């Protein structure tokens, strides 16, 4: 079974600064997908970024980028130029490529607060 | 474009009462559908998933059940609610290797 660990329950950052959220996972699979989801106070889950394990290049979506270290089973999210609207809970999630029916395993989340 | 709906948005029910939460997806056919529960604002736990009409897989033993009577409809039910069933329930559908979530239902069992 896969496990996903987010060791930072809460983090804070000043507006316009950069923050990195950590995530580690445990799996015996070689092919899989990793995700970061954002849950703002509205509680709507929003997909932020996706990383395929077979890709060496780190995924980037505007101000959001990841540092994917497959051997270390580490998947961190970097938010650049933080904005007040980035305040949310962030979840790291794992999906096996095969025979998983698309099931996601989530970490426990990190609450990020962006201060003006 | 695809959209996913959940209702009701909020529900307060007494212990021992029945439950029915509904999820519908528009703009796609034969999607994989999922029910998650989020307790105390923390991680999501997968409860059920469905790969087609009438096909339900349960991930954890519990007081809840799920059904998929139509291609784009997924229902979460209980015959008798427990206090421990309180939480935020999210429905999701899958496109390729990504899942997209509905707005959720906040259930409080009193």
Q: Could you please report the per-residue DSSP string of B38-53?
A: E-TT--EEEEEEEEET
Q: For chain A, what is the mean pLDDT?
A: 95
Mean pLDDT within A56-76: 96
Mean pLDDT within B86-105: 93
Q: Using a CB–CB cutoff of 8 Å, tell me whether A64 touches chain B.
A: no
Name the residue facing A45 among B41, B46, B101 (closest C-beta). B101
Residue A22 or A98, more confident: A22
Q: Using a CB–CB cutoff of 8 Å, tell me whether A25 touches chain B.
A: no
Rounded to a whole number of angstroms, the distance from the CA of A73 to the nearest CA of chain B is 19
Flag whether pLDDT at A35 surpasses 90.
yes
DSSP state of A101: T
pLDDT one-digit tens code per residue, B51-64: 999 999 998 878 89
Flag whether pLDDT at B19 surpasses 70.
yes
Q: What is the dihedral of CA A97, A103, A108, A113, to 10 degrees?
A: 80
How many CB pairs below 8 A link A and B?
A: 55
pLDDT computed for residue B55 by the predictor: 94
Return d(Cα B53, Cα A37) in angstroms, integer: 28
Q: Using a CB–CB cutoff of 8 Å, tell me whether A91 touches chain B.
A: yes
Q: Which residues of B touch A (CB under 8 A)?
A: 32, 34, 41-46, 49, 51, 57, 59, 88, 90, 92, 94, 97-101, 103-104, 106
Rounded to a whole number of angstroms, the distance from the CA of B94 to the nearest CA of chain A is 7
Of the listed ranges A12-16, A58-62, A66-70, B39-43, the one predicted with least confidence: B39-43
Mean pLDDT within A54-76: 96
Query: Hey, are the CB atoms on B49 and A44 less than 8 Å from each other?
Result: no
Q: Using a CB–CB cutoff of 8 Å, tell me whether A102 touches chain B.
A: yes
- In chain B, at which residue ranges do the beta strands (DSSP E only) sit? 3-7, 10-13, 19-26, 32-38, 44-52, 55-58, 65-70, 73-78, 87-95, 98-101, 105-109
Q: Using a CB–CB cutoff of 8 Å, tell me whether A35 touches chain B.
A: yes
Flag whether pLDDT at A105 surpasses 70.
yes
Q: For chain B, what is the mean pLDDT?
A: 93
Whether the Cβ atoms of residue A46 and residue A35 lie closer than 8 Å to each other: no
User: Which two structure tokens, joined as six digits, stand for A31?
Assistant: 């092919």
pLDDT computed for residue B41 by the predictor: 64
Whether the Cβ atoms of residue B43 and residue A107 lie closer than 8 Å to each other: yes
Beta strand pairing call for B87-95 and A32-39: unpaired
């Amino acid at each position: 079974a896969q496990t996903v660990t987010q060791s930072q329950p809460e983090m804070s950052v000043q507006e316009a600064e950069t923050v990195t959220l950590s995530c580690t996972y445990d799996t015996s699979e070689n092919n899989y997908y990793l995700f970061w989801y954002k849950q703002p106070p509205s509680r709507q889950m929003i997909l932020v970024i996706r990383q395929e394990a077979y890709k060496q290049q780190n995924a980037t979506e505007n101000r959001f980028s990841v540092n994917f270290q497959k051997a270390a089973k580490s998947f961190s999210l970097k938010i650049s130029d933080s904005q007040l609207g980035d305040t949310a809970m962030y979840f790291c999630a794992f999906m096996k490529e095969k025979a998983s029916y698309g099931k996601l395993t989530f970490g426990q989340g990190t609450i990020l607060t962006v201060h003006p | 474009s695809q959209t996913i709906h959940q209702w009701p948005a909020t529900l307060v029910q007494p212990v021992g009462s029945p439950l029915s939460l509904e999820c519908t997806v528009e703009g796609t056919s034969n999607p994989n559908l999922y029910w998650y529960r989020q307790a105390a604002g923390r991680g999501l736990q997968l409860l059920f998933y469905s790969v087609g009409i009438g096909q339900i897989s349960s991930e954890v033993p519990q007081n809840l059940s799920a059904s998929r009577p139509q291609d784009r409809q997924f229902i979460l039910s209980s015959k008798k609610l427990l206090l421990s069933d309180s939480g935020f329930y999210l429905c999701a559908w899958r496109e390729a290797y990504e899942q997209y979530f509905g707005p959720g239902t906040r259930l409080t069992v009193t």
